[in-house]
Amino acid sequence: MSGKEYFIFLVAGMVALLGIFLIFLGMQSSEDHPSLLGVEGLVGLVGEMGAENKVLVHGELWDTVTEDVLQVGDRVRVCGLQPGMKLEVKKI
């Protein structure tokens, strides 16, 4: 093996090791922080009640489930998700 081929293999090996290390770091980071995408990311957000038991949260209208008596314009906090993609909310 000539010096040029040795250098190419050395650089390729270092790049591969760097890639494996970066993938490992990314996997560790994703385990530490829960996903904030999708419906799970809505929990804790504040929204405003609209007509027909709908709430405006993060620019979208969602159906709601609540034990509170709510009126249009009331501010609510998302507490969870119910079956049928309905948000569980509480008045704040």
Report yes or no: 61 and 53 within 8 Å, Cβ to Cβ: no
**Cα 91 from Cα 70, distance rounded (Å):** 7
Instruction: For tokens 């250098």, name the residue.
Output: 7
Q: What is the pLDDT of residues 34-55, one digit of tens each?
A: 666 677 788 999 999 998 889 9
Residue 31 banded pLDDT, cuts 50, 70, 90: low
The reported pTM is 0.59
